[in-house]
Amino acid sequence: MSLMHIMILLPLIFAIIIPILYRFYKGIHLGWFVLPIPVIIFSYFMSYINVPDSDKPFIVIWNFMPRLGMNFSVHLDGLSLLFASLITGIGALVVLYSITYLSKNESLGNFYCYLLMFMGAMLGVVLSDNLLMLYLFWELTSISSFLLIAYWRHKQSSIYGAQKSLLITVFGGLMLLGGFICLSLAGNSWSITSLVQNAEEIQSSPYFIFAMVLILIGAMTKSAQFPFHIWLPDAMEAPTPVSAYLHSATMVKAGIYLVARTTPIFAASAGFVWAVTAIGLITLFWASFNAVKQQDLKGILAFSTVSQLGMIMSMLGIGAVSYHYSGEASQLFLASIVAAVFHLINHATFKGALFMITGTIDHEVGTRDIKKLGGLMTIMPISCTFTIITALSMAGVPPFNGFLSKEMFLTAMFDAHQADIFSLSTIGYLLPIVAIVGSIFTFVYSFKYVHEIFFGEYKAEALPKKPHEAPKLMLLPTGILTFLVVLFGLFPNILSESIIAPAVRAIAPFADAPDVHISHWHGLTPALMGTLIVFIVGFILFKSVEKWISIYNIQPEYLTFNYYYDRGIQLSSYISNKITQSYMTGFIRTYLIYIFGFFIIMTALTLFTHPVSVAFNNISDIRPYEVILMGLILVSTFCIVLAKSRLFSIIMLAAVGYSVALFFVFFGAPDLALTQLSIETISTALFLLCFYHLPKMNRHDENRKFKIGNFIISICVGIGVVSIGLIAYGNRHFDSISKYYVDNVYDLAAGKNMVNVILVDFRGFDTLFESAVLGIAGLGIYTLIKLRDKDKDGGEEHEETIK
């Protein structure tokens, strides 16, 4: 295990330690113990930023499960370094922000445990070179994000949002697993690096199209692309630090990372180029259009995030065209990937700051409803300044960083029609139109966000709290991100060779070295004209928003994706309940009928479809006392079936067990006999104890049809077991393992009790997991008892309150 493996696992390790610390240091905010973790990891990854060598990847392999091909291979190149830096850098600022945002009265142990779990999972996603390990971490991000979104579990909306995100992203995860399997079959490897090197072979494989479609579905669900975007707005019920971390800089960009990482493999396909580009632009337009009508600040930012992710996705789609060209033509489309990487960074800065500002407003004012807000500019001047800068960056207004990447985005859309492949030379003329329309609505909601909070009428009577400026510690991380917005806007090329170029080379290793030079002025270009249209039309629509906002009422509710999601959940729940109720009768005998019926059918099919032979050679002689024991077992069994008394049934059941133990004695297995006698004694005592406390209930009605059915099933099961035993005896293809145990039980395990040695040494893992199952069952029973006691206490308190 290398140091880089440790850095990935460090958050997961501390996710276990932090809840324990919380029990002993409740006087200190737990965030101070968590903060050093992302800072240390961020500093470690920053040490790899070296201009001459940053584009040279290196792989460190830890043979985790080599037989399955599941090696924990860490692959660090420009792309993974960029994402690792965002994950830990933004993560450190979010932890710092949460120290003020979350009260010490909250369940901080749970919160930071989930947050660190998510951080480690995201690092695993972006640094894993093995598809199976990537999938493992991918699903861990879904689970940890579910726990974070449902952190305020007393709110029904939080539970709903968490469930929605989990269902959609896990569905995408299953599609992703199928895509990874197809990709592995096509490339005969689980290594991403190896698959990229064998891209041409994969592209000629019949699994290629299946791998591409399934992987894209997985990426689209995680990055909230149309039509899977519906989970992200509801996920805003999470605490603001969660929204700032998961939904601006990390989790929602996992799909972006996956598309970028697999671009060298799928870029040859026209389907990949058009799917990524078209879905990205549709997402950009639809989400920005719907962001304008939102009345909740987080709702605006949620749809804004979806829109910006669509924008990045579309740029990756156009950038994939560079795969088909070389020289200057390749550089023309490679500029789209440069824009995507640059906007990826810019979006993390201004959107992370805006989420923190939203949390600040909610924390200090008590509401996020824009109908109640307004006129806070003089009351919260620092927050207002941060908001104006970051919102203008999101709107694409110079001189901030968002303007630069937005200009590069429009340039890429205008240049798309210059490609003479995939019908881009004709249909490509539509791309800048959609991009400009989506950018216009981005301009509108950005200005609306600022105006509704800080300008207009101050409504003191509508506010739950008396507003005031946020504490310095809460403003600090927001200020850092705002400073980066300005810095990257004024001096964008400080990232060119250190961050952007290595990431672009990782996404497009087939292309020439990218020419990364970002500037504010490119002359009178179509992109500049598009920007002027965005500013002019966007400002007009912003000033007249009250006059046209009613168009959102045209769309009926039953034509929304949320409507069909909710109806689908209700319908699936109804159908599953009906199906379950049809066979879950509550009677164990019914479930045994299902099990034995399946056993009878499968045994009969096997016997009739596969020729078998039964041999009676070398069968031991049956001795008189064995016949007596067998008769005793049969008589005891019949007594159990016919008994009317529970006590008599238990005694007869014990007689069967003790008779079997005597068989072991006669067959020369005293250790096994001793074990059987011990188990039977304990079981009999437990049965007597349990049945004593069970209620006295009448026996169920047993009609003739019921008895005949049970009799037939019993006879068939008996015949099936005897047949399997005889067939197994007559078809021995290997030597019995018993001799190995006899010969080695003392020499290898240094034990005299053969049964104990087999259970503890030779089959130690079986015993370990069986013990783990018993332990988990015991914990479950203990928890149920504690919950029952808690509910009982709560009920008594409730009764006292009523009195």
Q: pLDDT grade, residue 262 (50/70/90)?
A: very high
Higher pLDDT, 145 or 621: 145
**Winning range, highest mean pLDDT, from 30-39, 61-70, 699-708:** 30-39
**With 70 as the cut, is the pLDDT of residue 260 above it?**
yes
Supply the pLDDT for residue 432. 94
Res. 138 pLDDT band, cuts 50 70 90: very high
Q: Which residue has the higher pLDDT, 223 or 27?
A: 223
Indicate if the pLDDT at residue 803 is higher than 70. no
Confidence of residue 517 (pLDDT cuts 50, 70, 90): confident
Q: Is residue 794 over pLDDT 60?
A: no
Other CB atoms within 10 A of residue 75 CB: 23
Q: How confident is the model at residue 706 (pLDDT cuts 50, 70, 90)?
A: low
Residue with more model confidence, 165 or 26: 165
Encoded tokens for 688 = 């007597």
> Residue 614's pLDDT band (boundaries 50, 70, 90)?
confident
Q: Which of 636, 641, 682 is nearest to 660 (CA)?
A: 636
Round to whole Å and give the CA distance between 194 and 136.
19
DSSP symbol at 69? T
Task: Report the pLDDT value the prediction gives residue 698, as an integer from 0 to 100.
Answer: 59
The residue to which tokens 């469930």 are assigned: 163
Distance CA 245, CA 225 (A): 18
Instruction: Pick the more confident residue, 706 or 745.
Output: 745
Residue 498 has pLDDT above 90, yes or no: no
pTM: predicted TM-score of the whole model, two decimal places? 0.81
Would the pLDDT of 396 be above 80? yes
Roughly how many angstroms between the first and final C-alpha of the chain, as a whole number?
63
User: What 8-state DSSP symbol labels residue 268?
Assistant: T
CA 360 to chain centre: 28
Question: CA 386, CA 449: separation in Å to the nearest integer?
Answer: 13
Q: Do 91 and 14 meet the contact criterion of CB atoms below 8 Å apart?
A: no
Q: Two tokens at 303?
A: 């749809």
* Helix or strand run (H / E) with residue 199: helix 199-203
Q: pLDDT, tens digit, for every residue of 615-669?
A: 777 777 788 888 888 999 999 988 888 887 888 888 999 999 999 999 888 888 7
Which pLDDT score, from 0 to 100, does residue 799 have?
43
- Give me the chain's average pLDDT, please: 87
Residue 694 has pLDDT above 80, yes or no: no
pLDDT at 790: 65
| Euclidean distance between CA atoms 549 and 521, whole angstroms | 35
Q: What distance in Å separates the CA atoms of residue 137 and residue 84, rounded to the nearest whole number?
A: 14
The arithmetic mean of pLDDT across residues 525-550, rounded, is 92
* Position 271, amino acid: G
Which of 112, 114, 117, 170 is CA-nearest to residue 142? 170
Cis peptide before 227 (omega within 30 of 0): yes
Above pLDDT 90, what percent of the chain?
A: 48
> For position 91, what pLDDT does the model report?
93
Whether the bond between 399 and the residue before it is cis, its omega within 30 degrees of 0, is yes
Query: What are the tokens at 540?
Result: 């007009």
3-state SS assignment for residue 674: helix
What is the percent of the chain where pLDDT is above 70?
96
Residue 528: C-alpha distances to residues 312, 408, 485 (Å) = 19, 10, 21
The tokens for 347 are 């979006």
Dihedral pair phi/psi, residue 757, rounded to 5°: -65, -40
Pairwise pLDDT comparison (574 vs 54), residue with the higher score? 574
What pLDDT, in 10s, does the model give residues 754-767? 777 887 888 888 88
Q: Are 237 and 158 a contacting pair, CB within 8 Å?
A: yes
Q: What is the pLDDT of residue 792?
A: 58
**Partners of 58 in the beta sheet?**
76
* pLDDT band at residue 52 using 50, 70 and 90 as cut-offs: very low
Closest Cα partner for 229 from 260, 255, 210? 255
Residue 793: predicted pLDDT: 57
Question: What sections of 694-737 are H helices per DSSP?
Answer: 704-730
pLDDT at 560: 86
Burial class for 69, CB neighbours closer than 10 Å (0-12, 13-18, 19+): middle
pLDDT bucket at 434, cuts 50 / 70 / 90: very high
Query: Is pLDDT above 80 for 179?
Result: yes
Is the pLDDT at 209 greater than 80? The verdict is yes
